[in-house]
A and B are shown apart, each in its own frame.
Chain A
Amino acid sequence: MSVPEGLVSVGPQSGAVSEVARLPLLTEEQSHQLVELVWRFFCSLRLTLANLLGLFLAMIAGTFVNPANDSLTNIEKAFAGRTTVLGAYRWFELYDLFHSWWFTLMLTSLALNLIACSFERLPRIYYLVRYPERRLDHVAGLRFKVPASASLLQPEAVAAHLRTHGYLAQVTGSDVFAEKGRYARFGVWVVHVSLLLILGGGIIGRLTAFEGVAEVPQAGGTADSFIEKRPDGSVFKHKLGFLVRCDDFRLKEFEPGRPKAFESDLTVLEEQPDGTPGRELKRDTISVNHPLKWAGLTFYQASYRQLDEGMKAKVKLLDKAGKTERELLVGAGEKVEAAEGLSYQLIDHQEDFASMGEAVQVLRTEDGKDSSFWVFAKSPDFDRDNREDRFAFQFERLSPFYATGLQIARDPSTPVVYTGCFLLFAGIAIAFYTSHKRIWAKAQDGRLALGGAAHRNAEAFSQEFDDLCAALGLPLQKRKPVPVPQAAP
C-alpha cells in the first residue's frame, strides 16, 4: 500500500499487533488466581460487614433526606436557581433514595455477597454431613466425653440403645457413630438463600410491578384505566382492558370522624370495543385489608372523596311493567327521567314525617302535570302497595356522594417473595431451634468410652448426654458450665 506523500500513517501497519495484545496470555494458574481473588472478595465477611454498614447509613439518610416524599417537581421549585444543589439532588436521585442507582448498587453488592457465600458454604456443609469422622479416637476437643470405663456392653448394644432415642447409628468394628438432626446444619444456609429469594423477588417486582390509583364515583361510576404517579413526577396511565364499576360506597362510622369500615361494592365488566360495558364478570365487596383480585390485578380500598357538597338520597326505582329495578343516588331537585314524558324529582326530606320516620317527598311530572308523594325509609313496600303508578319508589337513606379511591396494583413477584418468606421461616426454625447431635462410642476389651457433640444449644444436650451415660451405666462426668470464649484483651 502506498502512502501519499506528506502524510504519515497513524493506522496500524499490516501485520502489526498492539503491544498489549503481544503480551503473553495469563497462565492457567494466574487466571485461576484472578478468579480466586474476585471470588474471595465476594465471599469475604468484611464485604458483608461493609455492606451492612453502608445500608445502615444509607437507610438512616433515607428516612431524613426526603421526609415528605416530595416529588421532583416540588423539590425543583424549592431549590430553584441553585443548580449545583439541584444537580446533586438529581444525580443521586435523592427524591427517591431507596430506588436510586447507588442504593440499588449496595443491594446488588449484598446480593452478590450472599450468592458467593451460599455457593461457598454448601459443599462444605455437605462434606461435613456426608463424610463425618466416625471414630472417637480421631475427634479432638470434645466437650462431652467419658473416658474408657469398665462396661460389658457390646458396640451393637450401644448402637441399639441410641437408635431407640432416634439416632442413626452405625457400628464399625469396635466404634459406634450415631447422629441426629443432620439437617440442622443447613438452617443458616436456608436463611441466606431465602433472603436472596426475597431480594430477587424485589428485583422482579421493581422491573414488573406497578401500582396506581383510580377514583370511581359510587352508584354506577366506572373506571377503564388507572393513573400511576412515578417518583420523578411523571404520570402514567394504564388501561385496564375491562371496566370496574362502583355500585356503592359505604363509609361506616362509630361517630363522625371515627371510621369503622370503608367498603365498596365493585363489579367487573367486560369492555366492549366502543368502551361501553358488556357482560358482568365478577362482583365483590372490598374493604381495607380485603382487596379484590381480578386478571392479575389487585384492587385495594385505599381512600374516598366526597364529590358533592350536598347529600343525596339513595333510592330504588321499580318498574312494575318491565319488572326491573334501578338503584339511584339522587340529589335534591335533580330530575330522573324514568320513561318517555315521565320524570321524578326529589323536593323535600324530613327526619320524621308524620311520625313515620325518615322520608323524602317526590314530585311526579307526566306530560306537564305535577303530583307529589312521600316515600318512607322504614317501609320499603309502602309506595309500591299504596300508589297507582308504573314506577314505585324505595328510599334507603341519605348519603353524601362519594367516589371510592381504589389502589390498583400488579406484582408478579408475589409468589417468589412468598416462597422466600416461608423458606425464611423454615430456615430460622431450623437454624435457631434445632441442633445436629453426634455421639461416638468405643467398646473394646470390656471398656466403653463415650463422646458427644451438639452444634447448638449445648445446655440441652448436656442433660441428654448425662441421661445417656446413666442408661449405659457409665459414671457421670463433672463439667464446667458452658464455656464461653475468653474476652479479647
Chain B
Amino acid sequence: MGFTVEELLNVGVILRFVAIGTYAAAFVSYAARLAVQRLKLDRLATGIAVLGVGAHTAYLITRWVAAGQIEILERLRTGDVLSSYDRFWFMVSHPPYTNLFDALNFVAWAMMVCYLIIERKWGLRVVGVLALALALVAMGEATLVTDKQIEPLVPALQSYWILIHVGMLFVSYSLFTLGAVCALLYLVRTGTATSVMGGVQAAAAALLLSMVGGGRLLFAATFEMAPGWIHQIQSRLHQGKLLDVTTAVHMVPPGSDKAVKFFTPVAGVGPFLLAAVVLFIAGAVLSWLHQRRGQPEQGVHERGYQVIAIGFASLTIGLALLIYRIVHSANIVLPAGVQLAPGEHGPFQLSLASNYALGLIALVWGSTLGFLLTTPLRDRISAGLPDPRKLEDITYRVVIAGWPLLTVGIVMGGMWANEAWGRFWGWDPKETWALITWVVYAGYLHTRITLGWAGKRPAAIAVFAFAVVVFTFMGVNLGLTGEGLHTYGAG
C-alpha cells in the first residue's frame, strides 16, 4: 500500500479526533431530541452517529494496517527474511485491541456499531444517549493512556487465536454494556422502587470498590495504589525523538521469579473508601429489608437512600483526596529490601496516566451520583422513556447475542492456552473473571428462560452484571489479584 506507517498514524490521529467530535455532536443531538420532544432531530442525530462510526472504523483500519506494517518493518530491520505468506500473516497479525489504549477505542467502536444495529432494528433512540456517553468516556479514558505507540507483539501473543478470541470477548462485553443500559432504563421506566434501584447500585458499587481496594482496604483501611515510573522511550515515528511514558512499577518479591506490581499506600484515602464500602453495603441491606417488608415507596426519604448518600459523600471525599494526592505526588521512596523488576528505575510518582484504580473509582462515583440525582426525578424521566416491554425484550436479545460470543471466546481462549501453555484452564485471574461473567449471565438466562422470571429481577441482574463486566475488562489489570498470564506489556 502506498502509505507509510507515519502517514497512516497521522491520519489515524485525525480520524480519532473526528470520531470523538462527531460522537460528542451526536450525543448533544440525541439528548436534545430526548429533552424536547418536538425537535425533529431523529434522522440528523442518527446521521451524525453513523458518520462518527464511519470515522472510527476508518481509524481502526489505519491502526490495524499501521500495526501490520510495523510488524513487517521491524522484522526486516532486524534482519529477518520474510516470505509473502509471512508478510500477509504479519500484516493481519496485530489487530487494534492489543494494548489498553487500543482496547478502549475498540470497545467503544463495537458498542456504537451494536447500538446502531439495535436502533435500526428496534428504534430505542434513548439508549443512544447512554451508549454515546459511554463511548465518549471510554475514548476519553484512552486519551489518558500515555503509551499509545504500537509495539510489535510479544511472542506470547503472536498467534492467530488473538484475532478471534480477544475480538469475540470484546464484542460480547460491549453487547453486555448495551444490555445493562436497556435494563437500567427498564428499571427506571417501570417505576422500580427506590429500594431496588438503590440496592442494586449500592451492591455493585460496594463490589467494585472492594475489588479495587482488595484485602488491604477491607481489613486494614489502607488504600494502596501502584505508582508509575516515568521514563522515556524512542519514538517509532520520529528518529531520535523521545516520548515520556508512565507505566506501573514492578517488583520481584523475595523467593519468587515473577515480577508483580509494587503498591504503595496513599495517605488518608483508605478510611474514606472503607467507610463508603461499609455504608454502601449497609445501604444495600437496608434497601433490601425495605423491599422485603413491603414498605411503601418513600424516595429520598428512605433510610437506604440516605445511607447510600452518606456513603457517596465519604466516597467523594476519598476520591477528591486521592486525586489531590496523585496530582501533588512527591517522589515515592521505596522501602528498603524491595527489589525492582529489571530495567525499571525511579523517580516514582502516583500518576493519573493509565490509572485503572482511579478509573474504576470514578465510574462508581459517577454511577452513584446518577442514582442519587435521578431518584427525585424518577417519575418525570420515566414518562419520557419507551415501552418497558420493548426495553425488556431488547435487554434479553442483546444478552443472547453476547452470551454465545462470550462462551465461544472463553472456550477458544482455553484452546489457545492448551496449544501455547499445555493446559486449558489455569485459574489465571483474567480467566477466572471471564468465567465469573459467564456464570452471572448464565444465571440471567436460566432465571429468564427456564424459571420464567420476567421484569425487574432479571433486569436488576443485568445491571449488576455490568459491574462484573467492567471488572473483568479492566479491574483484573489492577494487579491486585496477582499478575496472571493475561497482563502483557504496559498498563
User: B155: which of A66, A209, A211, A288 is its contact (CB, 8 Å)?
Assistant: A288
CB of B288 within 8 A of chain A?
A: no
| Known contacts A289-B156, A407-B422, A485 near B454 by CB under 8 Å | yes
A68 to B400, CA, bound (A): 36
Q: Choose among A52, A63, A259 the residue that contacts B446 (Cβ–Cβ < 8 A).
A: A52
Q: Which residues of B sit under 8 angstroms from A418, Cβ to Cβ? A: 415
Q: Which residues from chain A contact B260 at a C-beta distance below 8 Å?
A: 68
Whether the pair B423, A411 counts as a contact (CB closer than 8 A) is yes
Q: Mark A467-489, 1 if CB is under 8 A from B, else 0.
A: 00000000000000011111111
Which residue of A has the minimal Cβ distance to B479? A67
The distance from the CB of A122 to the nearest CB of chain B, in whole angstroms, is 16
A51 to chain B: closest residue by CB: B439
What separation, in Å, do the CA atoms of A49 and B388 have in the docked complex? 26
- CB–CB B152/A258 < 8 A: yes
Interface: A414 (CB within 8 A)? yes
A211 to B418 alpha-carbon distance, docked (Å): 12
Question: Could you tell me how many residues of chain A have their Cβ less than 8 Å away from some Cβ of chain B?
Answer: 60
> Is there contact, CB below 8 Å, between A487 and B443?
no
**B443 pairs with A64, CB closer than 8 A:** no
A298 touches B422 (CB 8 A): yes
Contact of B422 with A260 in the complex, beta carbons under 8 Å:
no
A55, A260, A421, A489: the one contacting B439 at CB < 8 Å is A55
Residue A105 at the chain B interface, CB threshold 8 Å: no
Chain A residue contacts of B424, Cβ below 8 A: 201-202, 205, 417
Residue from B393, B421, B447, B453 within 8 A of A300 (CB atoms): B421
Interface bits A184-195 vs B (CB < 8 Å: 1, else 0): 000000000000
Chain B neighbourhood of A91, CB < 8 A: none
Stretch at the interface among A24-32, A129-137, A143-151, A424-432: A424-432
Flag A86-107 by CB within 8 Å of B: 1 or 0 each: 0000000000001000000000
Q: Is A409 an interface residue (CB 8 A)?
A: yes
Is B10 engaged at the interface, CB distance under 8 Å to the other chain?
no
Are A48 and B411 within 8 A (Cβ)? Answer: no
* Interface secondary structure of A, over-half rule: mixed
Contacts A67-B482, A260-B155 given: A421-B388 contact, CB under 8 Å? Answer: no
Q: Which residue of B lies closest to A418 (CB)?
A: B415
Q: Does B4 contact A (CB under 8 A)?
A: no
User: B151, B400, B419, B439: which contacts A432 (Cβ < 8 A)?
Assistant: B400
Q: Which residues of A contact B420 (CB under 8 A)?
A: 288-289, 291, 300
* B159 at interface by CB-CB < 8 Å: yes
* B475 CB, min distance to chain A CBs, angstroms: 10
Contact assessment for A257 and B411 in the assembled complex, using a CB-CB cutoff below 8 Å? no
* B253–A68 touching, CB < 8 Å: yes
For B77, list chain A residues within 8 Å (CB).
254
Known contacts A52-B442, A291-B419, A425-B408; A98/B455 CB under 8 A: no
Q: Min CB distance, A295 to chain B, in Å? A: 14
The docked-state distance in angstroms from the alpha carbon of A289 to that of B425 is 16
Chain B contacts for A425, CB-based, 8 A: 408, 411
Whole-angstrom distance from the CB of A63 to the nearest CB of chain B?
4
Instruction: Name the one of A60, A67, A68, A487 contacting B454, with C-beta atoms under 8 angstroms.
Output: A487
Find out whether the CB atom of A486 lies under 8 angstroms from the CB atom of B389. Answer: yes
Q: Which of A253, A258, A260 has the most CB of B within 10 A?
A: A260
Whole-angstrom distance between the alpha carbons of A253 and B155 in the complex?
10
* CA gap between A425 and B164 in the complex, in Å: 14
In the complex, whether A74 has a CB less than 8 A from a CB of chain B is yes
Q: Is B422's CB under 8 angstroms from A424's CB? A: no
B408 to chain A, nearest CB (A): 6
Complex Cα gap A425–B455 (Å): 30
A124–B236 alpha-carbon span in the complex (Å): 63
Find out whether the CB atom of A64 lies under 8 angstroms from the CB atom of B78.
no
* A261 in complex: contacting residue of B155, B400, B422, CB < 8 Å: B155
Q: How far is the CA of A291 from the CA of B415 in the complex (A)?
A: 14
Are the C-beta atoms of B432 and A411 separated by less than 8 Å? no
Q: Which residues of B contact A205 (CB under 8 A)?
A: 423-424
Residues of A within 8 A of B335 (CB): none
Judge whether B436 and A59 touch: CB under 8 Å.
yes
Alpha-carbon gap, A67 to B419, bound state (A):
25
| Per-residue A-contact encoding for B21-57, CB less than 8 Å = 1, 0 else | 0000000000000000000000000000000000000
Q: Are B422 and A411 in contact (CB under 8 A)?
A: yes
Q: Is B333's beta carbon under 8 Å from chain A? A: no
Tell me which of A63, A259, A485 contacts B429 (CB under 8 A): A63
Report Cα–Cα, A52/B151, bound state, in Å.
40
A45 with B425: CB separation less than 8 A: no
On whether A300 and B392 interact (CB within 8 A), knowing A288-B155, A488-B453, the answer reads no
Residues in A whose Cβ lies below 8 Å from that of B429: 63, 67
Question: Chain B residue with minimal CB distance to A305?
Answer: B257
Interface readout for B390-426 with A: 1 if CB under 8 Å, 0 if not? 1011000000100010011001001100111111110
Q: Which of A63, A252, A409, A486 contacts B78 (CB 8 A)?
A: A252
The answer to whether A53 and B408 touch (CB under 8 A), given A261-B155, A414-B418, A482-B393, is no
Distance, CA A254 to CA B256, complexed state (A): 27
Contact A428 B419 (CB under 8 A): no
Contacts of A66 on B, CB cut-off 8 Å? 482
Chain B residues closer than 8 Å to A45, beta-carbon distance:
446, 450-451
Assembly CA distance A262 to B456 (angstroms): 53
B194 to chain A, nearest CB (A): 16
Specify which chain B residues have a CB less than 8 angstroms from the CB of A62 in the assembled complex. Answer: 427, 432
Say yes or no: is A287 at the interface (Cβ < 8 Å to chain B): yes
Q: Decide if B436 touches A424 in the complex (CB within 8 Å).
A: no
What is the bound-complex CA distance between A55 and B436, given in angstroms? 8
Q: Judge if A56 is at the interface, Cβ distance under 8 Å.
A: yes
* Distance in Å: Cβ of A139 to nearest Cβ of chain B: 21
Structural contact, A254 and B436, CB atoms closer than 8 A: no
Name the distance in Å between B467's Cβ and chain A's nearest Cβ. Answer: 11
CA distance in complex: A98, B425 (Å): 11
> Are B433 and A63 in contact (CB-based, < 8 A)?
yes
CB-based contact A258/B151 at 8 Å: yes
B114 within 8 Å of A (CB atoms): no
Task: Name the contact of A63 in the complex, choosing from B154, B407, B481 (C-beta under 8 A).
Answer: B481
Q: Is the CB of A211 within 8 A of B389?
A: no
Is A211 a contact partner of B419 (Cβ separation < 8 A)? no
A260 touching B400 in the complex, CB below 8 Å, given contacts A300-B421, A484-B392: no
Judge if B75 is at the interface, Cβ distance under 8 Å.
yes
Closest beta carbon of chain A to B405's beta carbon, Å: 9
CA–CA, A59 to B481, complex, Å? 12
- Cβ B456 vs Cβ A59 within 8 A: no
Also in contact, A74 and B255, with CB within 8 A (given A254-B152, A486-B389) = yes
Q: In the complex, what distance in Å separates the CA atom of A197 from the CA atom of B77?
A: 48
A69 at the interface (CB under 8 A from B): yes
In the assembled complex, 8 residue pairs joining A and B whose CB atoms fall closer than 8 Å, in A order, are: A56-B443, A63-B429, A205-B423, A287-B155, A409-B422, A484-B392, A486-B455, A487-B455
Q: Which 7 A-B pairs have the closest CB atoms?
A: A409-B422, A67-B482, A488-B455, A487-B455, A288-B155, A485-B454, A98-B427
Q: Interface of A with B (CB < 8 Å)?
A: 45, 48-49, 52-53, 55-56, 59-60, 62-64, 66-69, 74, 98, 198, 201-202, 205, 209, 211, 252-254, 257-262, 287-289, 291, 298, 300, 302, 407-409, 411, 414, 417-418, 421, 424-425, 428, 432, 482-489
